[in-house]
Amino acid sequence: MILRRISLGIAIALAFAYLLMTPIAAAPVSCAGGTLDFTAISDTPATPPTFNVGQKTTFAAVTTGFVAASHSWAIPGPHLRDYNDDLGTQAGVATPQPWSATPLTVSDLAANTVSLYWKPSPAQSHPANGGPEPRVVSLTVTPTAGGSCTSSATFMIERNATNPDKQPEDFYTSTHRAVGTTNPGFGHVIDEHIYWHQVVGGGTDWRQFLAWHGHFLRRFDEWRTEFGYPRVAPWYPGRPLPTGPDFDHPASLRLAFNPDANRIPSYYTITGGTATDFGGQTKLADYPTVAAFSDSFEGGYHGTVHCNIGPATGGFFATSGPGFGSMCRASSPKDPMFWRWHGFIDALYRNHCKLRSAACASGPDPAADPWMGDNDADIAAVGNVPSPAPRWLSPDIWNRRTQVATDACIPRAPPPDVNTVGGVARDCGSSADHENPVTGATNYLYATLRNSRAKPVRTVYAEVAVYIANASTGLAWPTDFQMLPESRQMITLHLEPGQVTDIGPLPWTPPSPAPSDHWCLYIRVLSVQEAPLVEGASIDTNVANSNSIAWRNLNIVAAGAASQSQFIVRNIRRAEDRLTLQIDVDEPLFKKAPLILRLDESLQRALTEGGARLDGLKATGPGTFAVVAPKARIEGLRLAPRQQGTATLHVDARADAETVGDISVTQSSREAVDGGVTLRVSGKKRR
Ligand SMILES: [Cu+2]
């Protein structure tokens, strides 16, 4: 009875296998009074004569009417006899087994059956990505009666780029199947992952959650490299699920995905936030050990994202059935997103290890230098420090009043990267793309991150934190700033050497900037591949000395209009000071547009008490001054520590709609430049 059941099972398995693995026969040739032929089959779905790289193919000689004394296969490469995808999890070894690949031997090619894994030619490998190539396989046999016969057939070897069922995950997770397995998709890799979840659990050595999954990812990357695929790029679940043959999975194994519901909790970020984890942690460095981070992470955010991608269908450890291959089951490595999601997790693991100076299975990554430009001259100088003044005009952070659908700027194309989506044209990443934020409405922030400095090093993970302050020529860090709560969600992954990328959008609703009339933006790039930021109270010094900090204090008004910019003048130093305000007006604007500076009562007092000297300014009323020279100056505004007042620049550009230019106000104290603000009269509407 039992025997019958087993044999029936095997019979079903074979029938199932043959349905999927149609053998191809080469054209039979006459040989020694009979015929010579051979078949080609695979253990994964194939459409002969086409096979994919990394796909197992078995050739078997078929002789009728004669007996072969010897076989000799000629199979053009490149190919492999086999490879090791086994980390040794089930064997309980002390360290992971190494990746290895073995070539076909002379004796393999002299057997009547030969199995191999196709490899791509250099022209087919990433990044060349060439199409299918013919390879002619020949079998020569020596009949016992003497002589020799040869049968040949042409096979097409491809690295498929269009079929979601013929991607690396499909082959990698299906090979090396256990004997008697009826599901052709249940290969060793899935078995090992299920075993880890079923038996190993946390582990205390290389098999602990974060370390083991890091090894598991790298093993797949070794396979991918061997078979001509690029390594897996991580994905942040606060972004939409990517689509395309590389990422798609059967619809029955996917749920509708909401990126906003899958953003990283702030306590797992470098910057941190106000939310607290169960142990009171507000940032990643607060977890004292890898185990503490792992314990919080694995059953929480990790599992949540898994089960927000795939349904909880079938048993968690099921090796077949409707839920097999769901992100919410232990067979999740069947889903391409498993590797992308765990790639992100591995980046967080690296971050934690670096922040806590822990020895880890992943990383540390070499020093990298992601940066943002402070102004056009700084960008031209590739972010050398100290950057040239003025430093509050970074074009690398900008605001939009409307979100352009599907983020037309991401990934960024070489400039000019002008995209028109839904009728909105964007010159991506340029200053011209900026619109003044509108108070009380949803606006969208974007940032440009650059990895174009000399060091040819990938930035694995960089996070951005955006801070706002009422526009002022005197802003102390961090006293005068507030972080936009969700800004650390602007995460960029795998910023490659030479690459410039735009990230965002970050939705935000600007509160009233009163008593100024716009917001100043301060943005910090954080990556564990850089030394921690060194910041003092002076943002001008901070921005000058770090290319990972950018600053934008810019108010844009339309040409041909009368407009004003209101900002705070503040003593940010610890002692009483006599401040200088320097006003610089671009010449064409100065000639065409009357310019008025108004000081509020506290600044008028500061002017009187400081015995201030005026240069290029003519008093026209109480606290009102006409700017009568393109370079004007107030020297000696006496303010106590933290004392402030409000100034207003009024420009009347109505006379000439073509007149454009900048009016910059720079505040200096006894020590140094404190900061500044620019009023830009722009030829572009609404900017
Ligand atoms: Cu997982």
**Inter-residue contact 512 to 468 (CB < 8 Å):** no
Label residue 423 left, alpha or beta by phi (over 0 means left) and psi (-120 to 50 means alpha).
Answer: left
What's the CA-to-centroid distance between 308 and ligand 1, angstroms?
12
Q: Is residue 175 part of a domain?
A: no
How many structural domains is the chain composed of? Answer: 4
Sheet of 443-450: strand order equals: 397-400, 443-450, 500-508
What's the CA-to-centroid distance between 234 and ligand 1, angstroms?
13
274 lies in the same domain as 206: yes
pLDDT at 618: 95
What's the CA-to-centroid distance between 202 and ligand 1, angstroms?
12
Domain boundary among 355, 389, 423: 355
pLDDT at 592: 86
511 lies in the same domain as 412: yes
What's the CA-to-centroid distance between 404 and ligand 1, angstroms?
32
Q: Distance between CA 20 and CA 8 in Å, rounded? A: 19
What's the CA-to-centroid distance between 366 and ligand 1, angstroms?
26
199 lies in the same domain as 262: yes
Q: Is residue 9 part of a domain?
A: no
533 lies in the same domain as 643: no
Residue 46 tokens read as 């194939």
pLDDT at 624: 95
What's the CA-to-centroid distance between 327 and ligand 1, angstroms?
8
Q: Residue 383's closest CA among 398, 364, 370?
A: 370
What's the CA-to-centroid distance between 301 and ligand 1, angstroms?
10
Q: Is residue 167 part of a domain?
A: no
pLDDT at 204: 80
270 lies in the same domain as 236: yes
Torsion sign across C-alpha atoms 233, 271, 510, 374:
negative
Pairing of strands 554-558, 673-682: parallel
We report the CATH number of the domain holding residue 255 as: 1.10.1280.10
As a residue count, the chain comes to 687
What's the CA-to-centroid distance between 363 and ligand 1, angstroms?
19
What's the CA-to-centroid distance between 330 and ligand 1, angstroms?
8
pLDDT at 684: 52
Pairing of strands 500-508, 613-615: unpaired
458 lies in the same domain as 488: yes
Cα angle vertex 195, ends 189, 199, to 5°? 160
What's the CA-to-centroid distance between 562 and ligand 1, angstroms?
58
Can you state the angle between helices 290-297 and 336-355, rounded to 10 degrees?
A: 150
pLDDT at 531: 92
Q: Is residue 345 part of a domain?
A: yes
Q: Is residue 272 part of a domain?
A: yes
Q: Report the run of H or E that residue 506 belongs to, with start and end.
A: strand 500-508
Q: Distance between CA 638 and CA 575 in Å, rounded? A: 11
Ranges of the chain whose pLDDT falls below 50: 1-22, 685-687
Q: Distance between CA 21 and CA 9 in Å, rounded? A: 18
What's the CA-to-centroid distance between 180 and ligand 1, angstroms?
27
493 lies in the same domain as 548: yes
**Cis check: omega of the bond before 134, within 30 degrees of 0:** no
Rg (C-alpha) for the chain, rounded Å, is 33
What's the CA-to-centroid distance between 461 and ligand 1, angstroms?
19
196 lies in the same domain as 342: yes
Domain boundary among 525, 552, 579: 552
Long-range contacts at 629-633 (CB < 8 A, ≥ 24 apart): 630/584, 630/585, 630/586, 630/587, 630/590, 631/582, 631/583, 631/584, 631/585, 632/582, 632/583, 632/585, 632/597, 633/580, 633/581, 633/582, 633/583
Domain that holds residue 96: 16-161
We report the CATH number of the domain holding residue 134 as: 2.60.40.10
488 lies in the same domain as 568: no
Q: Report the run of H or E that residue 214 belongs to, with start and end.
A: helix 209-226
What's the CA-to-centroid distance between 299 and ligand 1, angstroms?
10
What's the CA-to-centroid distance between 492 and ligand 1, angstroms?
21
579 lies in the same domain as 658: yes
pLDDT at 681: 83
